[in-house]
Amino acid sequence: CRSSIILNRLASQASLNLNVPPPWSGCFWDRTHCVTTDSKFQCATADCGSGQITCNGGGAIPPASLIEFTLGPNNGKDFYDISLVDGFNLPLSVTPHGRLLGCNTTSCAADVNTVCPLELQVKGLGGGVIACKRACLAFKQPQYCCTGAYNSPVTCQPTKYSKIFKSQCPQAYSYAYDDKTSTFTCTGGANYLVTFCP
């Protein structure tokens, strides 16, 4: 990224190694446009509400681009994806490394903020678009949230808004039931390179 990101306060072009023993499930995201006011740390996008740099188990508050992992035990099958179901704040990618069987990179390299509809835009202090909300957050309607009568793959279909996310990032989840083109697997105990702003 052009600026620092918060995942352990990484500077632009910096890296960090994390060892996560399987089995494990969780996600990674990055918070942006962060400030400390009155000893409280807050970010304009993907904040976790802890008031600190560490999230202490809290999840990202949408809008947030997410990388989700489920790591299998004993060099078993891993599942990974990029999700824009909770909106978009940064481009990202996942690249498997190691002894690989059927492992592919997944990426959302586009800046969705540049095509975000006005009604989904989150603007920063300078007036520029810093994130793109999901339609569920903006309108709170079941057809956008895949809830109520829309809580199945048959009734919850892509909307004009989720199609914008999908057109920019075809490999990423754009709505809750977008599994067919968005879930990736890898077998054999791979390592993964997670890149923010690829």
How confident is residue 8, by pLDDT bands cut at 50, 70 and 90?
low
Asked if pLDDT for residue 72 goes beyond 60, the answer is yes
pTM: 0.91
Identity of the amino acid at 106: T
Contacts of the segment 110-113: beta carbons below 8 A, 24+ positions apart: 110/168, 110/169, 112/84, 112/88, 112/164, 112/165, 112/168, 112/169, 113/88, 113/89
Cα 191–97–58 angle (5° rounding)? 35
Sheet holding 24-28, edge to edge: 24-28, 66-71, 77-83, 184-187
Tell me the C-alpha distance between 194 and 108, whole Å.
Answer: 12
Give pLDDT tens digits for 83-117: 999 999 999 999 998 767 679 999 999 999 999 99
CATH fold of 66-196 reads Thaumatin (2.60.110)
Which position has the token pair 């690829």? 198
What residue spans define the domains of the chain? 66-196
Asked if pLDDT for residue 129 goes beyond 90, the answer is yes
Among 135, 197, 141, 191, smallest CA distance to 163 is for 135
- C-alpha distances out from residue 112 to 21, 48, 188, 190, Å: 33, 22, 33, 29
